[in-house]
Structure 1
Amino acid sequence: MIRRRVVVSGEVQGVFFRDTCRRTAEASGVAGWVRNLPDGTVEAVFEGEPERVRQLVDWAHTGPPSATVDAVSVREEEPEGLTGFEIRPTAGRF
């Protein structure tokens, strides 16, 4: 089990990035979450088997067809044992 946190920049909000990410993760058996950040980026956490998490990280470099990904930062983290995959509210909004 591994965990990766990714932050994706470019034209990634308003293009179904989060929903496509959720569906892709669920189909791959990867747990975690995804959310928009106030600066226009998208943040996601992927937990699961190494090869499946790597596939999701690779997917984040392209995203859905309507997205334009300029950059992806990836950080290794300790797994928390997440189950399921969710779309979280935008960070910093109440």
Structure 2
Amino acid sequence: MQEKAAGDWATNRTTVALAPNPTTNTPTGFGTWVDFLNDFRNTFITTDDSADARRQLLNIKQTGTADDYNTQFRSLVTCSNISDKNALLSQRL
């Protein structure tokens, strides 16, 4: 983690961790392992919720009531950002 984006992230994380706490004048610290993992994931792992919703729409199946299916379908449509009604028609047949 010495080059490019990873190197910049590691340098910034170290700088923040070693910066003195204004109250105690001691290093702030790196935090817990969970803090590190969350920071790492938020920095390097991106999510594409609309792509995930579109993928789920391709595989949606009614397993419960029609109302449950319709609710799930509408929720996925909203998340997918698909606005063309014709593109959605084949998913409902």
Q: Would you tell me which structure has more strand in proportion to its own residues? A: 1
More helix by share: 2
**Larger RCO (alpha carbons 8 Å, 6+ apart):** 1
TM-score by length of structure 2 reads: 0.31
* TM-score, normalising length: structure 1: 0.31
